[in-house]
Amino acid sequence: MDNRRLLAGIALALLLGAAGAIGRAQQPLDVARDRPVADVVFTNGKIITVDEKFTIAQALAIRGNRIVAVGTNQQIAQLAGAATRRIDLHGRAVVPGLIDNHMHLLRAGTTWAREVRLDGVESRRQALDLVATRAKASPAGEWVYNIGGWSVDQFADSRNKFTREELDRLAPNNPVALQESYYRTYLNTRGLEAFGIRDGASDPADFPKGSIVRDGSGRATGIVEGGMGAVRAIAGKMPRVADQDLEASTLSMIKDMNRSGLTAFGVAGCDQALLPMYRKWEAQHQLNVRIFCIDGVGAGTPEQVERALPRIANIKLFQGSDFVDSVLYGESVYGPLHDPMFDSTSDPKPEQLTQWRRLATEVAKNRLPLHVHAELTHTIDAFLDQIESINKVYPIKNLRWMLAHFNQSNAAQLERMKRLGMYAAVHPWNVINGGIMHEIFGDDAYEQPPLATIQASGIMWGFGSDGSAANQYMPFITLNYAVTGKMTSGLKVMRQTIGREDALIAFTRRNAFFVFQEDNLGAIQPGKLADLVVLDRDYLTIPADQIKDIKPVLTMVDGRIVYDVSSANGTR
């Protein structure tokens, strides 16, 4: 345990010299000779710095894009000049900008504005209202849809499945497809027709056998389920936003991320075709999230492995900036050993592991960091077997190799990982999938992931969502789950709860390390970039069941206010 909360107001020295350690730091300030004038000061707050001592302070000062001082009101007041913007926090809590270490962010931007997103919606009634509102606003025949990020078990009023009939009533003129995580899709009559699914007729060939749920008379219920194949048969046909709307869709997504307190991401699957748009915004000082890509070379057969090896040797990471960069190899190493979501068990074959090992050896040999999807317990064990033997030839310590998702892990695996110097990127799918995972794994689902065991092991670990399809993206909903074990509906789905401080560290300082930004991000400290979030209530003291209700009132990225509730056109 390195985090010990200190009492409010304990003075932090103005550690301005720390800036010397920072890559792209501005000119260090010299208080003694030339009193610096801050551009912005925040005072009268409860600054939850998440530094190594978990210090709480009253005030902070920012110059340019960096935090220059953290301390008492009195200390910080000395840094304010006539031109300084002064923000009185009125006692509000401030936390570092939250970092999600694994989100499929770029992909999400290509559909975001078209989707009826249900992330964080706690009422089934409200979810249906959102569908109805979108249908009314859409031209007849246009899809009303979403691609995951929710399940009916998140609703506090009723967890009943959606029916074909009620979706018909809400959207009589539009096809509807609501994708529940990666598990199930709800279609209305027009949606069924669009896929050629007819009552009393045989199923279209592109759906896995039995995935179209029918009643006793052969009438389709509107429910399609039965693994990823069934879900993807529908999701793959949902319209992306038009090219001319891509920027607006992506910007609306980024706004939603800032509204939820997120300021940086480990991004799984960075689409190279989309990155120039983000780089353009960066050049214009208008990019409001930081993107650290997890990129790999796809391979699913021995022949593809042969072609992938020289490409791995040529990978150059860390060529970007503190806004857009590629920092990790992943998230898939060898396709056949990428556990599909909601499979109950895995059986990695020796010939598959041979291929996995060839690829991972090349990653180690080229000293690349690794962030690899490892979900089911047999897969985790098999990967660790391979890594232990690779490690004898090409040591991986300090390369920042991490297993991702990690839901079905255990104490023995954690010990092996610690010996190897590995980390865990934890993406608790239970946050929205708790009900579904209980159907699949029974009571074992309560231990997935074994958060308290992970925390107690002392391994370095961080939180991510694996959004936007497999999970919801809102960090305070994940924090609520980590501390209470509950979904937003109040349904208890996880027994291994952890403390609030440890959970917050996993969403900030740890993830900064996981995306190679520990000198810049993850804590409110002099010298670090000014990414922070002002909260409407105090994360550390409100009743645990209310953590999910915390709403950021102001989000700052790189010293710029990117979200301000007082000027934001609030949606929900």
Nearer to Zn ion, 373 or 528 (CB): 373
- For residues 330 to 369, the per-residue mask of contacts with Zn ion, x marking binding by CB under 5 A and - elsewhere, is ----------------------------------------
Angle between helices 475-484 and 430-441 (to 10 degrees): 50
Of 407, 394, 400, 462, which Cα lies nearest the Cα of 434? Answer: 407
Q: How far is the CB of 427 from Zn ion (least distance, A)?
A: 8
Judged by CB under 5 A, the chain residues 438 through 477 that form the site for Zn ion are: none
Judged by CB under 5 A, the chain residues 368 through 387 that form the site for Zn ion are: 373
Nearer to Zn ion, 92 or 373 (CB): 373
Nearer to Zn ion, 340 or 395 (CB): 340
Query: ∠239-465-154 over CA atoms, to 5°?
Result: 80
d(C-alpha 357, C-alpha 315), whole Å: 18
Nearer to Zn ion, 373 or 500 (CB): 373
Q: How far is the CB of 373 from Zn ion (least distance, A)?
A: 4
Q: How far is the CB of 291 from Zn ion (least distance, A)?
A: 17
Q: How far is the CB of 470 from Zn ion (least distance, A)?
A: 7
Q: What are phi and psi of 562, to 5 degrees?
A: -105, -15
d(C-alpha 150, C-alpha 325), whole Å: 29
Nearer to Zn ion, 164 or 373 (CB): 373
Nearer to Zn ion, 268 or 445 (CB): 268
Q: How far is the CB of 376 from Zn ion (least distance, A)?
A: 12
Q: Are 86 and 80 in contact (CB under 8 A)?
A: yes
Nearer to Zn ion, 266 or 552 (CB): 266
Query: ∠149-153-158 over CA atoms, to 5°?
Result: 125
Judged on CB neighbours under 10 Å (0-12, 13-18, 19+), 140 is exposed
d(C-alpha 248, C-alpha 234), whole Å: 25
Q: How far is the CB of 372 from Zn ion (least distance, A)?
A: 9
Residue 108 Cα distances to 31, 38, 117, 152, 455, angstroms: 45, 37, 11, 21, 30
Bridge partners of residue 146, in order along the sequence: 178
DSSP string for residues in 419-460 = HHT-EEEE--THHHHHHHHHHHHGGGGGGSS-HHHHHHHT--
Residue 190 Cα distances to 160, 195, 293, angstroms: 21, 9, 38
Nearer to Zn ion, 200 or 236 (CB): 236
Question: If you search the block for the tokens 């499929």, which residue do you land on?
Answer: 104
Q: How far is the CB of 96 from Zn ion (least distance, A)?
A: 25
- SS3 state of residue 461: strand
Size of the site for Zn ion (CB under 5 A): 1
Q: How far is the CB of 466 from Zn ion (least distance, A)?
A: 6
Return the residue nearest Zn ion (CB atom).
373
For residue 331, whether the previous peptide bond is cis, meaning omega lies within 30 degrees of 0, is yes
Q: How far is the CB of 107 from Zn ion (least distance, A)?
A: 12
Q: Are 484 and 497 in contact (CB under 8 A)?
A: yes
Q: How far is the CB of 413 from Zn ion (least distance, A)?
A: 17
Nearer to Zn ion, 255 or 373 (CB): 373
Of 188, 101, 87, which Cα lies nearest the Cα of 143? Answer: 188
Beta-carbon contacts of residue 530 (< 8 Å; ≥ 6 apart): 40, 62, 65, 66, 67, 556, 557, 558, 559
Beta-carbon contacts of residue 443 (< 8 Å; ≥ 6 apart): none
Nearer to Zn ion, 469 or 530 (CB): 469
Report the b/e string of 197-236 with b at 16+ CB within 10 A: beeeeebeeebbeebbeeeeeeebbbbbbbeeebbbbbbe
Q: Are 13 and 31 in contact (CB under 8 A)?
A: no
Q: How far is the CB of 563 from Zn ion (least distance, A)?
A: 28
Q: How far is the CB of 183 from Zn ion (least distance, A)?
A: 15
- For residues 250 to 289, the per-residue mask of contacts with Zn ion, x marking binding by CB under 5 A and - elsewhere, is ----------------------------------------
Nearer to Zn ion, 290 or 373 (CB): 373
Q: How far is the CB of 330 from Zn ion (least distance, A)?
A: 9
Could you say whether residue 104 binds Zn ion (CB under 5 A)?
Answer: no
Q: Are 461 and 454 in contact (CB under 8 A)?
A: yes
Q: How far is the CB of 224 from Zn ion (least distance, A)?
A: 22
Of 127, 130, 176, 134, which Cα lies nearest the Cα of 153? Answer: 127
Nearer to Zn ion, 155 or 423 (CB): 423
Q: Are 374 and 406 in contact (CB under 8 A)?
A: yes
Task: Specify the pairing of strand 144-147 against strand 176-180.
Answer: parallel
Nearer to Zn ion, 176 or 327 (CB): 327
Nearer to Zn ion, 357 or 373 (CB): 373
Question: If you search the block for the tokens 């050049």, which residue do you land on?
Answer: 283
Residues found near Zn ion in the complex (CB under 5 A): 373
